[in-house]
Structures are given as structure tokens and as C-alpha cells.
């Protein structure tokens, strides 16, 4: 299915020079060679019109803000918008200085059809705070012309060529891309609509106007092929957002970060890649109060390429962050990308997809709780319980399925005291072992138990042996020493269960408490 979407930026000149003109500069205008070429609705209400001289504009609106046009700034804004739109199609091109066209025919199935794709585009434009009009038609020129005439009661979207032709027939003849310079001639011959223009003899129309008029007319109606130079993403991603005012609170950073992430998603889509790390730089004031930029890095367990995956971790990081100095700009760069995994076409979720979801959750928790907030077990080939299972901080590189990190020493392993209170960060479990006879909580050091009538007692209550023994003899090969123990599951009068052992060291045997059952 052939389908094009056009993005027309009616206030592009204003947006490039006054990024927040609707709130901070409602009366503003852009000058081209001393004449008004674009102005805000508030300025239009005061009588300003395109083509008006600078002096006349100041006479009508003494408080108006005037600035000369900046083609470089406009081109930079348009390139950023194009970069963000690459996440929806790689076939994107400039139609003119204020309009982009996207060939989305091959993207409809991926995004769930034209309506769903239109909603996704609108959401991205809102995140970028881009004021754009969307047109949708089977031809690029037709989509642009429908977008240009938005607000005049003309339908802006159609999927059918016949419907497009009927809509184009009603448009003014001067709305043709190549027909603006011939508007006066169209009026002189009484040709006011494109439908009337198409009824003219083609040879006479081409001879009296220009060949470009006939070509653009045929292209808009789908009677001729359209050719574009496709937009290409840069080889490396590094984008910067300059703030209009100094940002003193973290909440003011999010809008700029969302904008940069939208650009990144388009760049990653064009490169068919994903990344597991984002490097933000907060630039501060210069001059007497100059200080080096503040680095803000985000690490992910799984390489991502969609905005939602990045924003979930970003929001958690910003929630616990404070600015040490006002920021004047935010920069985002990505130095490494990797191949994107293919999308499964199966009916059920595959194990790799479950692992990816778990990794996203761990990313959010790690940022929320801090680097020492998540711990993971590292089992070892040792029968001694205190050496069989160690703990270490969880890092993205050591997430399940991403390799193992070096285990810590046994002395660093989190444990619990006899009452079940853990010294693990945030009260996590200290140890768990396979099998039904092993407790969840393991003590750092076994607690000697009193004996009464040859029965072990804990906190003054005699314990009844309900399961065991389990003999463990190991450790003769290292400095920790040889152990010879018989482990039992014991229970007190209130049905609480304990993991105890009888030590067979030379001398008098003694009972010890080593773990607690949940």
C-alpha cells in the first residue's frame, strides 16, 4: 500500500528563533530583509501582516519582539525533527523548507495501521513540542497540499487515490507546489481550482506557465512518479539542547531529556541498533562561576531502542537527583550500539522476552534503590553452608543471562542475626539453599545453644528434632578449617522451626543454631 505522511511546520521560523513564543513572546515576528515573513497570532490580531516593513510593524505593535530570520537555526530544527521521525520509516525527505514527507507504506503493519501510526506520530511531536500539521495521502505532494490547507475545512487524510483526486480538485490552483509564482496568471484566465487547472490543454499549460507546474500537478494526482533525496542519519549520535533560561531544579531537565531521547530513538531505528548506556552531560554557567559539566550516565541490563524503556529509568534517576549548580544545556551522546534482536512472530512469549522484561524491572529498581540496593547470590561448590552461597551487589553486567561477576569474600556476605534481622541492604534475604530442609535465613555466625536433659534449648525453650540428621563433613583443604556436623530441623512449642547442628569437633559436642525457617 502506497501511503505518505506530510509534516508541515506553519510556525517553523518562529519556533527556531522563539522556542517558547506562545508563553514568553506572544507578540513576536520574524523579518526577512527588513519585512515581516512570519508572526504570532497575537501580532496578527494587532494588524501585522507578512510583507509589512519593520517600521510599520513597530508602529502597530510597539512592544513586539522582532528578529531577523536565521536559516541555519531553522535547518537545525528541521534536521532534529527529521532525525526523530526516522523511528517510523527510513524513507524520509525534505519537501520544502517547512515540510517533511514520510513514506510509511511499509511501516503500517509494524505500527498497527494508519490510525495507530498517526497517534504515535502525534505523541512524538508532542514530546518534541513541535507544532506540525499532518497530512496523509497516497502521494507525497497530495499529502503536503492537504496539510497546507488544514484549518480551511479541507479533509487532511485519505487512503484512496480517487478520494485524494476529489479533494485536490477543490483546492485553489495557487496551492500547487510549483504554482505559487503563477497565481496571478491563474486568476487572469479564470482558473481558480486545481480541478479547473487539470481541464486545461496540457501542452498549452506547459508552454504558458512552466514544465514544473505540469510535473507537480501529475505528481500530486498520482499520474507521475515522485523522486526525493532521502534524509540520512549522522554516523554518531551527539545532540545538545540549550535552555532558554537557567535550570535550577531537576524537574526542568525532563523535557529536554525526553526531546533528546526521541531524537536518539530515530537515530537507533535508522541504524537498526540498540544501546545499553546513555551518557548525559549537564553544562553549567561559564565565566566567573564556570565549572565542569556534570555527567549523568544511565546503564541498562538489555540494549534498548524505544523511548519508554529509556524514560522509565531516567525518571527514577531524576527523582533522586539534585542539581549542584544551574544548568544551561543538556547534551546526550551514545558511543556504542549493538545489533537489535529480532522480533518473535510466535504466539507465546519466549524465555528471552521474559528475561528482557525482568531486566527492565531490575534497571528501575537499581536506580531507585541505589548501587547497593540490589544483591544477588553467587553459589559456590562447597558443602559448608556459610561458604556455599555468597552475595554481591547486582550490576547490569551481572544480570541473569549476562555473565557472572567475581564473588565477594565470605566475610562480606550479608547475614541475619538470631532474631531474623538482616544486615543486607533494604532487608533482603541473606541466604537460601536448594532442598526442602534448608532455611531461607542463614546467620553470619552460628549461635551456641544451651542443653537441658541432653536436648538443645533456644531462648529458654526446649527444641524438638523433627527431621535429620544430615551429615556435612568438608573443609579440610583450606584455611577455614575442617567441619563435621549433623544438621537437624528443630521445632519449638509455638511451631517455629530452626536449623541447628551438632558439632563433632574433638572434645565435648555442642549444639548450634545456624538458620531460621520463614
Task: Let me know if residue 374 belongs to a domain.
Answer: no
User: What CA–CA distance (Å, rounded) separates 410 from 405?
Assistant: 15
- Same domain as 209, residue 125: yes
pLDDT at res. 233: 93
- The answer to whether 487 and 470 are in contact (CB under 8 A) is yes
User: What CA–CA distance (Å, rounded) separates 385 from 395?
Assistant: 25
- Same domain as 21, residue 162: yes
- Same domain as 138, residue 48: yes
pLDDT at res. 339: 87
User: What CA–CA distance (Å, rounded) separates 263 from 280?
Assistant: 14
Measured over the CA atoms of residue 343, residue 344, residue 348 and residue 352, the dihedral's sign is negative
Q: Within 13 Å and on the Cβ side, how many CA atoms surround 472?
A: 19
- The answer to whether 383 and 407 are in contact (CB under 8 A) is no
User: What CA–CA distance (Å, rounded) separates 511 from 500?
Assistant: 7
- Which residues, in sequence order, are bridge partners of residue 296? 280
- The answer to whether 402 and 355 are in contact (CB under 8 A) is no
Nearest to 359 by CA among 296, 314, 401: 401
- Same domain as 92, residue 152: yes
Number of domains in the chain: 3
- Same domain as 251, residue 183: no
Do the bridges between strand 65-68 and strand 28-32 make them parallel or antiparallel, or are there none, so unpaired? parallel
Would you say how long the chain is, in residues?
518
Neighbours of 507 (CB within 10 A): 7
Nearest to 474 by CA among 444, 436, 455, 501: 501
Nearest to 334 by CA among 414, 404, 251, 235: 235
pLDDT at res. 356: 63
Measured over the CA atoms of residue 352, residue 353, residue 358 and residue 362, the dihedral's sign is positive
The contacts of residue 482 (CB under 8 Å, 6+ apart) are 473, 474, 475, 476
- Same domain as 112, residue 21: yes
3-state secondary structure at position 496: coil
pLDDT at res. 464: 93
**Regions of the chain where pLDDT drops below 70:** 150-154, 342-357, 396-436, 508
Task: Let me know if residue 406 belongs to a domain.
Answer: no
3-state secondary structure at position 239: strand
In sequence order, what DSSP letters do the residues of 282-318 get, joined into one string? EEE--GGG--PPEEEEEEEEEEE-SHHHHHHHHHHHH
pLDDT at res. 257: 93
pLDDT at res. 340: 80
Buried b (16+ CB within 10 A) or exposed e, 274-303: bbbebebbbbbeeeeeeeeeeebebebbbb
Neighbours of 420 (CB within 10 A): 13
- Summarised one tens digit per residue, pLDDT across range 109-140 is 989 999 999 999 999 999 898 889 999 999 99
Task: Let me know if residue 385 belongs to a domain.
Answer: no
- Same domain as 242, residue 195: no
All three cell numbers of 271, joined, read 541504524
Helix orientation angle between 351-369 and 307-319, rounded to the nearest 10 degrees: 20
Task: Let me know if residue 110 belongs to a domain.
Answer: yes
Beta strands in 142-190 (DSSP E): none
User: Domain end: 312, 339, 366, which one?
Assistant: 339
Burial (CB count <10 Å: 0-12, 13-18, 19+), residue 501: buried
- Summarised one tens digit per residue, pLDDT across range 320-343 is 788 888 899 999 999 889 988 766
User: What CA–CA distance (Å, rounded) separates 292 from 289?
Assistant: 10
Task: Let me know if residue 423 belongs to a domain.
Answer: no
User: Domain end: 171, 196, 221, which one?
Assistant: 221
User: Domain end: 197, 221, 245, which one?
Assistant: 221
All three cell numbers of 93, joined, read 525527505
- Same domain as 111, residue 245: no
All three cell numbers of 169, joined, read 480538485
- Same domain as 308, residue 453: no
pLDDT at res. 393: 82
- Which residues, in sequence order, are bridge partners of residue 7? 100, 134
Do the bridges between strand 35-39 and strand 92-96 make them parallel or antiparallel, or are there none, so unpaired? unpaired
Task: Let me know if residue 181 belongs to a domain.
Answer: yes
Beta strands in 33-69 (DSSP E): 35-39, 65-68
Task: Let me know if residue 147 belongs to a domain.
Answer: yes
pLDDT at res. 100: 96
Secondary structure letter of residue 344 according to DSSP:
P
Helix, strand, coil percent values for the chain (each to nearest 5): 35, 30, 35
User: What CA–CA distance (Å, rounded) separates 188 from 201?
Assistant: 16
Q: Which domain holds residue 447?
A: 441-516
pLDDT at res. 405: 40
- Same domain as 242, residue 170: no
Task: Let me know if residue 454 belongs to a domain.
Answer: yes
pLDDT at res. 421: 39
User: What CA–CA distance (Å, rounded) separates 337 from 250?
Assistant: 28
- Same domain as 256, residue 213: no
All three cell numbers of 207, joined, read 508552454
> What CATH number corresponds to the domain at position 269?
3.30.1490.100
- Same domain as 142, residue 273: no
Amino acid at each position: 500500500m502506497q501511503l505518505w505522511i506530510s509534516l508541515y511546520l506553519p510556525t517553523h521560523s518562529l519556533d527556531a528563533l522563539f522556542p517558547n513564543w506562545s508563553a514568553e513572546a506572544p507578540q513576536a515576528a520574524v523579518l526577512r530583509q527588513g519585512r515581516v515573513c512570519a508572526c504570532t497570532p497575537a501580532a496578527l490580531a494587532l494588524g501585522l501582516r507578512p510583507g509589512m516593513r519593520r517600521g510599520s510593524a513597530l508602529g502597530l505593535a510597539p512592544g513586539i519582539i522582532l528578529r531577523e530570520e536565521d536559516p541555519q537555526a531553522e535547518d537545525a530544527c528541521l534536521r532534529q525533527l527529521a532525525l526523530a521521525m526516522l523511528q517510523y520509516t527510513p524513507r524520509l525527505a525534505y519537501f520544502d523548507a517547512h515540510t517533511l514527507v514520510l513514506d510509511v507504506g511499509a511501516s503500517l503493519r509494524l505500527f498497527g495501521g494508519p490510525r495507530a501510526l498517526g497517534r504515535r506520530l502525534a505523541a512524538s511531536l508532542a514530546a518534541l513540542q513541535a507544532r506540525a500539521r499532518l497530512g496523509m495521502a497516497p502521494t507525497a505532494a497530495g499529502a503536503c497540499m492537504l496539510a497546507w490547507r488544514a484549518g480551511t475545512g479541507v479533509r487532511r487524510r485519505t487512503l484512496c487515490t480517487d478520494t485524494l483526486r476529489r479533494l485536490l480538485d477543490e483546492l485553489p490552483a495557487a496551492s500547487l507546489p510549483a504554482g505559487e509564482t503563477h497565481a496571478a496568471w491563474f486568476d487572469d484566465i479564470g482558473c481558480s481550482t486545481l480541478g479547473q487547472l487539470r481541464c486545461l490543454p496540457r501542452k498549452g499549460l506547459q508552454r504558458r506557465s512552466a514544465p514544473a507546474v505540469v510535473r507537480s500537478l501529475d505528481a500530486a494526482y498520482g499520474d507521475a512518479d515522485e523522486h526525493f533525496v532521502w534524509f540520512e542519519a549522522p554516523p554518531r549520535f551527539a545532540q545538545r539542547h540549550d535552555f532558554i533560561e537557567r535550570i535550577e531544579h531537576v524537574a526542568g531537565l525532563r523535557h529536554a531529556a525526553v526531546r533528546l531521547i526521541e531524537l536518539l530513538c530515530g537515530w537507533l531505528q535508522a541504524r537498526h541498533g540498540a544501546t545499553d548506556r546513555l551518557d548525559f552531560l549537564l553544562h553549567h554557567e561559564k565565566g566567573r562561576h564556570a565549572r565542569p559539566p556534570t555527567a549523568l550516565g544511565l546503564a541498562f541490563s538489555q540494549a534498548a531502542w524505544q523511548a519508554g524503556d529509556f524514560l522509565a529509568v531516567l525518571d527514577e534517576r531524576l527523582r533522586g537527583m539534585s542539581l549542584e549548580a544551574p544548568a544551561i544545556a543538556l547534551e546526550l551522546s551514545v558511543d556504542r550500539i549493538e545489533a537489535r534482536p529480532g522480533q518473535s512472530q510466535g504466539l507465546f512469549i519466549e524465555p528471552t522476552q521474559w528475561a528482557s522484561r525482568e531486566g527492565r524491572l531490575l534497571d528501575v529498581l537499581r536506580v531507585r534503590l541505589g548501587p547497593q540496593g540490589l544483591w544477588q547470590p553467587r553459589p559456590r561448590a562447597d558443602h559448608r553452608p556459610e561458604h556455599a552461597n555468597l552475595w554481591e551487589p547486582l550490576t547490569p553486567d551481572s544480570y541473569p543471562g549476562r555473565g557472572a561477576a567475581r564473588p565477594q569474600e565470605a566475610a562480606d556476605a550479608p547475614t541475619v542475626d538470631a532474631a531474623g534481622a538482616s544486615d543486607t541492604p533494604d532487608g533482603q534475604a541473606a541466604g537460601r539453599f536448594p532442598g526442602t530442609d534448608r532455611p531461607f535465613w542463614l546467620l553470619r555466625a552460628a549461635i551456641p545453644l544451651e542443653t537441658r536433659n541432653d536436648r538443645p534449648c533456644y531462648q529458654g525453650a526446649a527444641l524438638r528434632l523433627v527431621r535429620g540428621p544430615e551429615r556435612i563433613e568438608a573443609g579440610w583443604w583450606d584455611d577455614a578449617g575442617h567441619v563435621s556436623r549433623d544438621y537437624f530441623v528443630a521445632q519449638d512449642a509455638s511451631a517455629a522451626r530452626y536449623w541447628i547442628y551438632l558439632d563433632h569437633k574433638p572434645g565435648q559436642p555442642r549444639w548450634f543454631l545456624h538458620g531460621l525457617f520463614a
